[in-house]
Structure 1
Amino acid sequence: MKKWIMISLFSVFLLHPCVSEANVKLPSSVVDISKENTYPNPTQNLPYLQPSELAKELLASANVKIKNPELIRLLNESSISSTPFAIGYKATIYLGQWPLNYESTETTTNWEYQKVNTNFYDNRGGKAPVRLMYKQEMQKHVRGGLTASVPNEEAVKKMMLLTAMSKTNLPLSFSTFIGAGTKKEQMYNVHARKLGYLYAYAPAVNEKGKVTYGEVYIVLKGNKKSVLVKNVTSQGIGAWIPVQDRLSFSFVSSDIPR
């Protein structure tokens, strides 16, 4: 008796909750520019997939932990009909080689990941302090990325991004912009006979861990169904993930040009 495997287009998503920054203590030099940024960065509301009942059953049966949202989506889109006459029926369906899960070992933040702007005032000829304010001179595109080349890079980046967002509660993205003309009403005094330099840096999270790969099969035996993973391998991986709409300021007063 044949058993039919049908593909439906149904999958359920739970949107990532609005981020807060309770898990990371922000230095006093770090400011939020989300309202002032002249470039509207899209919010990275990556979906958390809610497994279907079938997907839950298959995931629980797997011999290796599966957390890849794309693979869970594929299982969500599958349906296997049951029949009371399936005694003796056997089938093995190959789904391909997948990154199965990512395990984080270290998550740190570099608040001065990339310098994006310098504001300057020469007050060497002045007799009174002058206030210097941040203004973005040119649009800047801050990019992150993986520290090594791995198979199925986009799926790995999604898993690492979800992990880093969960651990830090920071608004993260592998690509973010600071728009030209962005201002912040935070003043710095350049004293008389001094040069003032205000540097702005884009922060980023450094995520490190291990990604596990394997060949995934759906095994059907009678009315039983399970997931089998073969040829499992692991690889160390790291990533730099910029923090959206946050800047770290550093003010320097000097007697001579820098």
Structure 2
Amino acid sequence: MKIQRLLLQLIIISSIFMLIMPNNTFAEKDKKVTGEIELPSSVINIEKENTVPNQAENKPFLKPSEFTKELIESANEKIENPHLIRILNESAINSSLLSVGMRATIYLGEYPLNYKSEETTPNWQYQKVNTNVHDNMAGNVNSRMNYVQQVQKRVTGGLTAKVPHAEDVQNMILLKAMEKTKLPLMTQTIIGAGTKHNQVYNIHPKKVGYLHAYVPAIVEKGEATYGEVYLVIKGTKRKIVVKNVTSQKVGAWLPIQNHLTFTFHVTP
């Protein structure tokens, strides 16, 4: 009986322990699902300090109209291209005017339909934009330095290769990467001359300090799907049919807006 009571106590204690323990397996799974990228401490937001305000990319997640939603849901391929969605939003077919016996196939053109992300990787030192140097070789006490942008720098990203309908593809990649990373991504960003940050870096006596600033970026790699888009009308029914579907590997560099990565070292 004592052994049974002891086993029962152990089971109860183990159950309580399992309930209060954080479930690392599920936490890790959720982290992978969200796809959010955590910024390291060396990456600093300079939006308030930047002397050249960066305009946010005008790439809204375009909401399809009810008519467009009906067509997209009828399509045999996934349609995410904002340009194509906008064209469909601006179109209308009154079903009451359609004859029961009416049949028509209207060619709308060839479009990139969607982008599937396969790899999203940060490069915290995508492009160097500034170096501050402070010489304390003649000093007897610690000297302090801060970041000051010496000249204006424009950093441009974009597609890594030429593809058909490049602007549409780039827009889809940008939207997918912004949604996936939750970062303020752009195809280009500007760091204005005179931009400063109050973080202090100490240089010991007989040393020279070097503070480098880089614009970080996200590199996206994936696959764009293309197809010929037809609007098919049969009586009162309307649907989208996609033919001659092809796919192409594609990638893009996307700078992180108003963020800098700092690296600091002293010599000798």
Residue 112 (structure 2) aligns with:
99
Once the two structures are superposed, residues 189-208 of structure 1 have per-residue CA deviations (whole angstroms, 9 ceiling, x without a partner) of 11101111000010000011
Task: Write the mapping of 1:50-199 to structure 2, written as runs, cut at 5 A.
Answer: 50-83=63-96, 86-199=99-212
Query: 1:63 is aligned with what amino acid?
Result: N
- Post-superposition offset of 1:23: 2.3
Task: Write the mapping of 1:6-45 to structure 2, written as runs, cut at 5 A.
Answer: 23-45=36-58
Query: 2:216 is aligned with what amino acid?
Result: P
Q: Secondary structure at the match of 2:95?
A: coil
Task: Point out the more displaced range, 78-87 or 179-188.
Answer: 78-87
Segments of structure 1 that go 5 or more residues without pairing to the other structure are 1-21
Once the two structures are superposed, residues 86-110 of structure 1 have per-residue CA deviations (whole angstroms, 9 ceiling, x without a partner) of 1321111111000000000111111
Paired residues, what number? Answer: 235
Which of 230, 237, 242 is matched with 1:229 structurally?
242
Query: 1:53 is aligned with what amino acid?
Result: E
Q: Secondary structure at the match of 1:228?
A: strand
Residue 10 (structure 1) aligns with:
none
Q: Is the 1:142–1:176 contact (alpha carbons within 8 Å) kept by the matching residues of 2?
A: yes
Query: 1:86 is aligned with what amino acid?
Result: S
Q: Secondary structure at the match of 2:83?
A: helix
Query: 2:61 is aligned with what amino acid?
Result: Y
Query: 2:223 is aligned with what amino acid?
Result: K
TM-score, normalised to structure 1's length?
Answer: 0.88
- Post-superposition offset of 1:41: 0.3
Runs (4+) of structure 1 exceeding 6 A deviation are none
In structure 2, relative to structure 1, the CA distance for the partners of 1:248 and 1:221 (3 Å cut) is same
- Post-superposition offset of 1:83: 3.3
Q: Secondary structure at the match of 1:78?
A: coil
Q: Distance in 1 between matches of 2:97 and 2:173?
A: 43
Q: Distance in 2 between matches of 1:112 and 1:66?
A: 34
Q: Distance in 2 between matches of 1:234 and 1:114?
A: 31
Percent identity among equivalent residues? Answer: 58
Q: Is the 1:111–1:202 contact (alpha carbons within 8 Å) kept by the matching residues of 2?
A: yes
Task: Point out the more displaced range, 46-55 or 78-87.
Answer: 78-87
Which of 223, 231, 235 is matched with 1:218 structurally?
231
Q: Is the 1:44–1:171 contact (alpha carbons within 8 Å) kept by the matching residues of 2?
A: no
Query: 1:66 is aligned with what amino acid?
Result: I
Q: Does residue 1:204 correspond to 2:200, yes or no? A: no
Once the two structures are superposed, residues 3-61 of structure 1 have per-residue CA deviations (whole angstroms, 9 ceiling, x without a partner) of xxxxxxxxxxxxxxxxxxx9221111111100000001002252111111111111111
Residue 262 (structure 2) aligns with:
249
Q: Which has the larger radius of gyration?
A: 2
Between structures 1 and 2, the one with greater helix share: 2
Once the two structures are superposed, residues 105-161 of structure 1 have per-residue CA deviations (whole angstroms, 9 ceiling, x without a partner) of 111111110000000011112111110110000000000010110011111111000
Q: Distance in 2 between matches of 1:84 and 1:248?
A: 60
Between structures 1 and 2, the one with greater strand share: 1
- Post-superposition offset of 1:84: 7.2
